[in-house]
Amino acid sequence: MKKLFVIPLVLVVISALIFGGCAKPEPGPGPSTEPLRIGSIESRTGWGGVYLTDGADLKFAYADYVNARGGIDGRPIEIVEYDDESEAELGYLYASKLIEQDKVLAITGPVWTDICLATIEATRYSGCPHIYEGPNTPPPEVYEPGSNIYATDLPSGRYFMATVKYLKEKLGAKTLAVLATTGETGEEDLGWIKDAVAELGGIEIVIEERIDPAAIDATPQLTRIKATNPDALHLGGAGNIIGPMMKGYQMLGMDMPVAGGTGFITREASVLIAGFEPEILILPALRPHVAGFDVLPAGHPLIELSDTMWDVWSEKYGESRGTKGDILLSWIAWEMDTMDLVCEAIRQASPLPEDIQAAREAIDYALENKIIGFEQRLGRRTITPTDHIGLGVTEDVIFLTIKDGQIRALED
């Protein structure tokens, strides 16, 4: 151990007088310019890779965009990415590597449910903020104070809660018929509709019908539905089946309000049901996609947010993968909101401590306590210690409809 020598103040003063003054102190280290390392776990290959390349690439475009404008607190962003190959085991291993070896400040991703849960196993006690991106059913950690696990979006059930609530509270429906496709998408939608009915109360499902998503005739199912005389009809599923559904609806002279899921609000759907639209058709849009349909009023915050997203994307990739409209209707908004969220937390926590664990804790504290009314493409976000998502279940849902073959905003 080194000994500590204390020099009496009088000797310091005498020395200063003899040598004509004291030496100037050395300057301090100044603000750090080291890169802000953000981890990313993406499924670029494997069974899930076909869906996620653009979202993964968005993170690199985002870093370039921010860095070209000075970075955050003078520090550039660096993305450290691993491809989990759509395998949960690799997700776990890479999450551990990002924390222990790569020394990232935060981890973003993945999207698929089983891989998300595996990565959370690796990150939940690490103190490293982990923001996963998919609209999966949230694990308990998302609602635990002090947890370092966050989610970008709520489960897809928020959209069905919104439609059933609209039918019940705005249109006074008490009985509901459901026509859903067979297969995974229709089954999931049917489950969300049942959950919404059970939670809201005061409305009941009187008949459930299923239809092959490749069917060209829905009149048998709709005939049975008509016989029950429901107050409203809710569709489940996605894709072109909405064409036969609405043609059968009109052929049978049905007139009850119709609601659907997010899988039916597409440009193709507007063409398929042209001339067969119900008088009242309620379709919730995936919120980030609304700007792509060009139906928002001037000044709506989603317009500016979507324009910024296009600027970020096009500055790196231009129109090499599609027009602005194509990109706005893609899946990159979830990654855009994730990057906005983690970078806003870094801004709130800056200047960061030099110690990596202390820096992670500062960012985690900012996420849990300083994200208040943060406007994003998925909604206005306020994170609290007991809610690490911070979005309203139905408040941010935007309803669209189809009239005369055109997608339009639903007017109350």
Using a pLDDT cut of 70, give the percent of the chain over it. Answer: 92
- Per-residue pLDDT of 243-274, as tens digits, reads 999 999 999 999 999 999 999 999 999 999 99
| Same domain, yes or no: 49 and 127 | yes
| Same domain, yes or no: 115 and 81 | yes
Asked if residue 246 is part of any domain, the answer here is: yes
Domain end (from 261, 279, 297) = 279
Asked if residue 342 is part of any domain, the answer here is: yes
Q: Do residues 390 and 155 touch, judged by C-beta distance below 8 A?
A: no
Give the pLDDT confidence score for residue 394 in this predicted structure: 84
| Same domain, yes or no: 224 and 270 | yes
Average pLDDT over residues 365-369: 97
Confidence of residue 190 (pLDDT cuts 50, 70, 90): very high
Asked if residue 66 is part of any domain, the answer here is: yes
Q: Do residues 231 and 221 touch, judged by C-beta distance below 8 A?
A: no
Using a pLDDT cut of 90, give the percent of the chain over it. Answer: 84
Give the pLDDT confidence score for residue 33 in this predicted structure: 86
Instruction: Give CA–CA dist 210/216, Å, rounded.
Output: 13
| Same domain, yes or no: 125 and 182 | no
240 has pLDDT over 90: yes
Give the pLDDT confidence score for residue 277 in this predicted structure: 95
Asked if residue 323 is part of any domain, the answer here is: no
Please identify which residue in the block is written with the tokens 């999931």.
Answer: 188
**How many domains, in total, are found in the chain?**
2
Instruction: Give CA–CA dist 266/270, Å, rounded.
Output: 7
Asked if residue 28 is part of any domain, the answer here is: no
Give the pLDDT confidence score for residue 135 in this predicted structure: 54
| Same domain, yes or no: 44 and 148 | yes
- Per-residue pLDDT of 317-362, as tens digits, reads 999 999 999 999 998 999 999 999 999 999 999 999 999 999 999 9
Extract the tokens encoding 131. Answer: 């923001």
- CATH number, domain of 338, equals 3.40.50.2300
Give the pLDDT confidence score for residue 51 in this predicted structure: 82
Give the pLDDT confidence score for residue 10 in this predicted structure: 38
| Same domain, yes or no: 145 and 64 | yes
What residue numbers bound the domain in which 346 lies?
36-155+328-381
3-state secondary structure of 78: strand
Instruction: Give CA–CA dist 25/5, Å, rounded.
Output: 19
| Same domain, yes or no: 140 and 189 | no
Extract the tokens encoding 137. Answer: 């059913």
| Same domain, yes or no: 137 and 192 | no
Give the pLDDT confidence score for residue 395 in this predicted structure: 82
Cα 250–chain centre separation: 36
41 has pLDDT over 80: yes
Q: Do residues 258 and 282 touch, judged by C-beta distance below 8 A?
A: yes
- Per-residue pLDDT of 215-239, as tens digits, reads 999 999 999 999 999 999 999 999 9
Give the pLDDT confidence score for residue 131 in this predicted structure: 97
| Same domain, yes or no: 140 and 198 | no
Asked if residue 21 is part of any domain, the answer here is: no
Q: Do residues 237 and 263 touch, judged by C-beta distance below 8 A?
A: yes
